[in-house]
Amino acid sequence: MKRIAIVTQRCHESVVGGSEALAWQYARLLGGRFEVEILTTTATDCVSWANALPAGATQREGIAIQRFPTVFERGEYWYELHRRLMLEVQPHLAPPPCLWRAAQQEEYIRFQGPYCPALEDWLLAHRGDYAAVLFCTYLYAPSYFGIRLIGPRRAILIPTLHDEVPAWLPVYAARYAAFPHRIWLTEAERRTATRLWGLDGGAVLGMAVEQAQASAPASLGAPYLLYCGRIDAAKGCDELLDAFARLPGRDRAKLVFTGSDHLGLPKHPWIEYHGFVDEARKRALMAGAAGFVLPSRYESFSIVALEAMAQGTPVLVNGHCEVMREHIETSAGGYCYTDTAQMIERMTTLLALDAPARARMGAAGRAYVLARYGEDTVRARLVDCVEGVIAAADRAQASAA
Amino acid sequence: MTPGADDDYLEQVRQDIRAEAKVLGERPMLARAQTTPGDADGIERARLSYALRELTDPQYLAFVECAFRALLKRRPTADETTGQLRLLGAGTAKTEILGNLRWSGEGRRIGARVRGLPSRYLLAKAARIPLLGHLLRAGMALAGLPFLARQQRALETLAAAGRHEAQESRRALDAGIGELQAHTTSLAAALRQSEADFDTRAQQFQAHGESLDDAVRATELALRRRIEALEATPLGRQEHWISELDYLRQRTYAVGEWFSRLERTLGEIETLTSKRAAADAPRAARAAEAALRRDGARATRNGAWATLFAEQLQPGARVLALASGADWLELLALRGLDAGGADLLPAMDTLRRCNDGSMDGVAVLALPLLARTTPVLELLAQAARVLRPGGALLLADAPEPDQLIEILRGTAGTGIPFDLLECALAASGFEAIARIDSADGRAALLAHRAAA
Amino acid sequence: MPTMHSAVAAVHGSDVRPDGLATIAANLALLARWQARAACWLVAGDLRTGLPHDLLEAFELYLARCEADARLIVLATGAHEPPQALADALQACAASAQIELHAAQPAVLKAALLAADALILSDAASDPAVTLAALELGVPVIGSAAAATAALTGAAALLWPGATPALLAASMERVRQDARLRGILRERGFSDWNLRRTASEPPA
């Protein structure tokens, strides 16, 4: 079997993070076809990047992991650079003016962390051993500094790009322009890259979504809307609460939350907080809900909304989030809203849907997820993509020899 | 980009540069960049009034030159130039350097007036005093907030004053600002008593810090939401907004920075306190042990209480013992009770984790030890919840080891008058309340949870 | 862990961590001052005999014909204080208001490298450790092609045999205007630095 590596900033059971979950899933999906190795840091905290795990080789579910220590934690120095960046870059103006020389932009990336010279040393010493190296997340130092050690033929970038201020730093666009093999999660992400970096090549693959249906839908004694995930104002949960509070007939319905509560959910008879639930319970809650609501504006993929769609549940999403709007508009598996009034109106509709109408909408959503994000579908496309890159690189190498 | 293509490109560039170099000298001369203002020797001796910006705008050498000419009415010597440049290089604020010159002996004699300098100089100097500096910087961040609130109100009008979210966030912001100001005032007051006992102060800081933490978070959140709301507002006035948004952004980061400084200060205080506590702990433990050995009446007293308590219960009854020495558990076990204590968790946490009606008895020997951190009423409510109907509760004010240690370290809770405690028991659903006075004058209360 | 950037560490002594200038924080006050729209020249070396005349001439030519508000940062290596003779010479020259002189302490050197448009080398003003740090951090290097500097920078620098002030000034102007040129110099500089680093290490 050919050996490939996946570089990512963190990898551990305890780590909750979108791009880390993606890297891990891709490692699993590629595991049967390649000898996969994850190259990552010893950090578990994505703010400080403190060394928390032992450095060296280990295994997780049969996949080899190499961890390398970070040489410093994020500190006052980086926060000051960050503060200046926020003041000096005005994302409203495109392209935003930036007085920072390239060296200073790279300084920002280096001190943002996790900075792992040993990981770079490893890539340099072992680059000949890998048929391909995947770099997950454009933002962090392991990808930015690591990818230049691997030639453009065998490096594959998985950017998980958002429209955020650092993404506008010209060094990112310049660096990644030289690496033509890219994997995008959605078309919307690729369009963002075209707008921000002027790049658009690469494959749109997405992420596999659990499709097993719940054995029995949950029943909570009243129709309910469901939210799963981090309960936080940054995710729009305050807007959700506010809208639900103003819902006509809210006392005959419920708003159900699962996940970690960072907002401090108020106590109302119509709010039910279930804390952390296991996967089976989550699926049952999704299957039993009148609708699944995702009020966040900033989602790069939102696996949880797709999971709800896989349960045949209509979803309601924030239309300001391009990625989510695309999921809904393509699938017809739910509704978008753009303001609070519309949000209330859509919630009312969802709670009042009769069984056949709900089933029609749910089936459309489920069909969409199965067709695009079934594990076998994503695995096949991913393996094709990686094999294609390796074959082209081998051909180029042979013709050069 | 292939290496070959790059080589070709570099070669092209080199040719271009060579060609450009040949004709560089023929380009028109550019006007010199603005340097130090001045007349023949560059010194305006008669002028004694300056705007701060005139002196802070020039860079580096020009700055030093200009400062000396304006404030001392002479040019700097080579040594002076080097010295001032070194200060600049070390990151010293220009205002501080100007202030140093202006209020030097020489500068006072000349007495030039620089508008805006005195306050800034004072601030720059004060910011160098460690703890006060933190507070001052925090204060400056705060001072900006009311202005920010005003700014927001103006923006609101512009934003066609419709949006519910905006109003919500403004309310939260105003509340946050009010709270921040209140907290800073009390923080400053706390600081002024700098001769007061360090531990007390650290505790105050702790408490303020926590609520301040919440307030800052709320403010920051409100600011962020406000920024987002503004960004989303579909008004065709983007140019105007950009500068306003920048201002808001800047305030958000100021608050963030202030918060991180505060967090650090609190962290330092915490470290100091815990160091001190760690140093005191062994001594306190030794002293408490010695005191226990001297307490000849303890064995008799505890034995009598244990016997009386056991008489209220069936053999094998489940009893939770809190705030007592390990020997108290043995006394209860000897009398046929199934007694357990708080092993690792703090006593109150152990009590809170017990299931409703799961205990036949609860005994608290050193009540002040628990009352130190938990209101007595809550303690009684928890005990009532944990006891089965008819279960027995024993409360005493006995000098148990941990209580002695707290007394020695000055962190002990106050005793509770037993008359008051009797009333509290009655109010909390206990009945058959009896006072047991032991031979050495120590008292305990025995009560039963009323049947449902 | 292999020791990297030993050249930098050797010159700056214990102030620099073994993993090089990359992990040192820049002096932020200086960085804020230097990071501006106008061109920023950087010269570093043991300048006890003063700034080489060709460099000063090149900078003055650039001020007069290319950008009037350009700045020149001069870093004196090998001493804690810049030499007095150099300070006097710089104060006396016509462009003195646009020249800054510092001792090359690590945090100052880092700030200068982050803010500079290019590091300028000349036969009499260069420092191998600073040159290597520039290659590592992706700062373009331009200057005269004396044997020593050419061996150090390989094909990664824009070097001129017998550089004239006009060639230096025109090179700086081109580097400022040409993002592709900067990109090529940066990437080549990094590969060169990387090769040098791996060559000096024991095999893993």
Each residue of B14-45: pLDDT tens digit?
999 999 999 998 989 888 775 444 444 557 77
pTM: 0.61
Closest CA to A157 of A126, A180, A174: A180
B338-341, strands of its sheet edge to edge: B338-341, B318-322, B359-364, B387-396, B443-449, B430-437
Question: Can you give the pLDDT at residue B250?
Answer: 62
Beta bridge mates, B443? B437
Closest CA to B95 of B155, B51, B44, B61: B51
In chain A, which stretches have pLDDT less than 70? 87-97
Question: Can you give the pLDDT at residue C46?
Answer: 86
Cβ-in-10-Å burial (0-12, 13-18, 19+) of C202 comes to exposed
Count of domains forming chain C: 1
Give Cα separations from A211 to A259, A280, A303, A306, B27 (angstroms): 20, 12, 12, 9, 71
**Given CA atoms B355, B357, B361, B366 in this order, what sign does their dihedral have?**
positive
Decide the pairing of beta strands A63-68 and A56-60.
antiparallel
Determine the residue type at C65: R
DSSP letter, residue B40: S
Question: Can you give the pLDDT at residue B188?
Answer: 62
CA dihedral B211, B215, B220, B226 (to 10 degrees): 160
Q: Do C181 and B9 touch (CB under 8 A)?
A: yes
**Comparing A24 with B327, which gets the higher pLDDT?**
A24
Q: How far is residue B298's CA from residue B279's CA, in Å, rounded to a whole number?
A: 29
Per-residue 3-state assignment (H helix, E strand, C coil) for chain A: CCEEEEECCCCCCCCCCHHHHHHHHHHHHHHCCCEEEEEEECECCCCCCCECCCCEEEEECCEEEEEECCCCCCCHHHHHHHHHHHHHCCCCCCCCCCCCCHHHHHHHHHHHCCCCHHHHHHHHHHHHHCCEEEEECCCCHHHHHHHHHCCCCCEEEECCCCCCHHHHCHHHHHHHHCCCCEEECCHHHHHHHHHHHCCCCCEECCCCCCCCCCCCCCCCCCCEEEEECCECHHHCHHHHHHHHHCCCCHHHCEEEEECCECCCCCCCCCEEECCCCCHHHHHHHHHHCCEEEECCCCCCCCHHHHHHHHCCCCEEEECCCHHHHHHHHHHCCEEEECCHHHHHHHHHHHHHCCHHHHHHHHHHHHHHHHHHHCHHHHHHHHHHHHHHHHHHHHHHHHHHC
Set of chain C residues whose Cβ sits within 8 Å of the Cβ of A100: 35
Chain C nearest-CA distance from A392, in A, is 24
CB under 8 Å to C68, separation ≥6 — which residues? Answer: B30, B31, B32, B33
Determine the residue type at A149: L
Closest CA to B449 of B396, B395, B393: B393
**Mean pLDDT: which of A64-68, B123-127, B142-146 is highest?**
A64-68
Decide the pairing of beta strands B443-449 and B387-396.
antiparallel
**Mean pLDDT: which of A384-393, B249-258, B334-343, B373-382 is highest?**
A384-393
* CATH, domain A224-373, list 3.20.20.70, 3.40.50.1370, 3.40.50.2000, 3.40.50.300: 3.40.50.2000
Q: Which tokens is A152 given?
A: 């453009």
Q: Do C181 and B36 touch (CB under 8 A)?
A: no
Instruction: Report A:289-348 residues touching B (Cβ under 8 A).
Output: 297, 320, 340
Average pLDDT over chain C, rounded to whole? 82
Q: Do B168 and A242 touch (CB under 8 A)?
A: yes
Tell me the pLDDT band of B155, cut-offs 50, 70 and 90.
very low
CB under 8 Å to B402, separation ≥6 — which residues? Answer: B288, B323, B366, B369
Tell me the pLDDT band of B140, cut-offs 50, 70 and 90.
low
Q: How far is residue A383's CA from residue A172's CA, in Å, rounded to a whole number?
A: 27
Closest-approach residue (CA) in chain A for C116: A101
Set of chain C residues whose Cβ sits within 8 Å of the Cβ of B38: none
Chain A nearest-CA distance from B253, in A, is 7
Which chains does B contact via 3+ CB–CB distances below 8 A?
A, C
Question: Can you give the pLDDT at residue B172?
Answer: 65
Q: Do A106 and C4 touch (CB under 8 A)?
A: no
What whole-number percentage of chain C has pLDDT above 90? Answer: 42
A52 φ/ψ angles, rounded to the nearest 5 degrees? -115, -25
Q: Do C138 and A72 touch (CB under 8 A)?
A: no
CB A147 within 8 A of CB A182: no
Chain A nearest-CA distance from C169, in A, is 19
Whether C20 is in a domain gets the answer: yes
Expressed in angstroms, the distance from the first to the final Cα of chain A is 23
Any CB–CB contact under 8 A between C36 and chain A? yes
Helix (H, G, I), strand (E, B) or coil at B49: strand
Question: Can you give the pLDDT at residue C19?
Answer: 45
Expressed in angstroms, the distance from the first to the final Cα of chain B is 84
Q: How far is residue A87's CA from residue B286's CA, in Å, rounded to a whole number?
A: 58
Q: How far is residue A328's CA from residue A308's CA, in Å, rounded to a whole number?
A: 12
Question: Can you give the pLDDT at residue C36?
Answer: 79
Question: Can you give the pLDDT at residue A17?
Answer: 73
CA dihedral C121, C127, C129, C131 (to 10 degrees): 0
Q: Do B33 and C68 touch (CB under 8 A)?
A: yes
Any CB–CB contact under 8 A between A262 and chain B? no
Which chains does C contact via 3+ CB–CB distances below 8 A?
A, B
Where do we find the tokens 């449902």?
A: B452
What whole-number percentage of chain B has pLDDT above 90? Answer: 11
Taking 70 as the threshold, does the pLDDT of residue C13 lie above it? no
Chain C nearest-CA distance from B100, in A, is 19
- Which of C69, C87, C100 shows the shortest C-beta gap to B60? C100
Whether C130 is in a domain gets the answer: yes
* Architecture of the structural domain at A3-208+375-400: 3-Layer(aba) Sandwich (3.40)
Per-residue 3-state assignment (H helix, E strand, C coil) for B286-305: HHHHHHHHHCCCHHHHHHHH
Question: Can you give the pLDDT at residue B233?
Answer: 54
Q: Which tokens is A341 given?
A: 């009034």
Would you put residue C91 in left (φ > 0), alpha (ψ -120 to 50) or beta?
Answer: alpha
- Which of B224, B250, B256 shows the shortest C-beta gap to A87? B250
Cβ-in-10-Å burial (0-12, 13-18, 19+) of B287 comes to middle
Question: Can you give the pLDDT at residue B393?
Answer: 94
CB pairs under 8 A between A and C: 59
CB pairs under 8 A between B and C: 95
Choose the mutation target among C4, C37, C114 for the interface with A, i.e. most A CBs under 10 Å. C114
Chain C nearest-CA distance from A73, in A, is 11
Instruction: Report B:71-130 residues touching C (Cβ under 8 A).
Output: 78, 81-82, 85, 88-91
Q: How far is residue B269's CA from residue B272's CA, in Å, rounded to a whole number?
A: 5
Question: E-assigned strands of B64-180?
Answer: 113-115
Any CB–CB contact under 8 A between C87 and chain B? yes
Cβ-in-10-Å burial (0-12, 13-18, 19+) of B12 comes to exposed
Question: E-assigned strands of B236-327?
Answer: 318-322
Choose the mutation target among C23, C42, C185, C200 for the interface with A, i.e. most A CBs under 10 Å. C23
Whether C160 is in a domain gets the answer: yes
What whole-number percentage of chain C has pLDDT above 70? Answer: 85
Q: How far is residue A315's CA from residue A333's CA, in Å, rounded to a whole number?
A: 7
Q: Do C98 and B33 touch (CB under 8 A)?
A: yes
Chain B nearest-CA distance from A92, in A, is 7
Whether C6 is in a domain gets the answer: no
Q: Which domain holds residue C170?
A: 13-196
Task: State the CATH number of the domain containing residue C174.
Answer: 3.40.50.2000
Taking 60 as the threshold, does the pLDDT of residue B158 lie above it? no
Question: Can you give the pLDDT at residue B343?
Answer: 57
Chain C nearest-CA distance from B75, in A, is 13
Q: How far is residue C133's CA from residue C197's CA, in Å, rounded to a whole number?
A: 12
Residues of chain A with CATH 3.40.50.2000: 3-208+375-400, 224-373
Question: Can you give the pLDDT at residue C111?
Answer: 96
Question: Can you give the pLDDT at residue C100?
Answer: 92
Closest-approach residue (CA) in chain C for B9: C181
Where do we find the tokens 């946490």?
A: B349
Residues of B with CB under 8 A from a CB of A: 1, 164-165, 168, 221, 224-225, 228, 232, 238, 241-242, 245-246, 249-250, 253, 256-257, 260
Instruction: Report A:269-288 residues touching B (Cβ under 8 A).
Output: none
- Which of B241, B242, B253 shows the shortest C-beta gap to A83? B253
Set of chain A residues whose Cβ sits within 8 Å of the Cβ of B256: 83
Taking 70 as the threshold, does the pLDDT of residue B361 lie above it? yes
Q: Do A178 and B1 touch (CB under 8 A)?
A: yes
Q: Which tokens is A316 given?
A: 């309601």
Any CB–CB contact under 8 A between C100 and chain B? yes
Chain C nearest-CA distance from B29, in A, is 5
DSSP letter, residue B404: H
Q: Do C178 and B13 touch (CB under 8 A)?
A: yes
Helix (H, G, I), strand (E, B) or coil at B15: helix
Q: Kindly report which listed range (B42-56, B110-124, B128-142, C165-179) carries the lowest average pLDDT score.
A: B128-142
Choose the mutation target among B214, B223, B225 for the interface with A, i.e. most A CBs under 10 Å. B225
Q: Do B27 and C65 touch (CB under 8 A)?
A: yes
Other C-beta atoms closer than 10 Å to the C-beta of B74 total 14
Q: Do A124 and C198 touch (CB under 8 A)?
A: yes
Taking 90 as the threshold, does the pLDDT of residue C44 lie above it? yes
Q: How far is residue A20's CA from residue A175's CA, in Å, rounded to a whole number?
A: 22
Residues B381-400, mean pLDDT to the nearest whole number: 90
Instruction: Report A:88-127 residues touching B (Cβ under 8 A).
Output: 90, 92-93
Closest CA to A49 of A40, A41, A57: A41
Question: Can you give the pLDDT at residue A371?
Answer: 92
Taking 80 as the threshold, does the pLDDT of residue B427 lie above it? yes
Question: Can you give the pLDDT at residue B400?
Answer: 80
Q: Which tokens is B228 given?
A: 């987002």
Give Cα separations from B229 to A323, B165, B169, B225, C65 (angstroms): 20, 8, 9, 6, 48
Q: How far is residue B222's CA from residue B217's CA, in Å, rounded to a whole number?
A: 8
Q: Which tokens is C111 given?
A: 């700030």
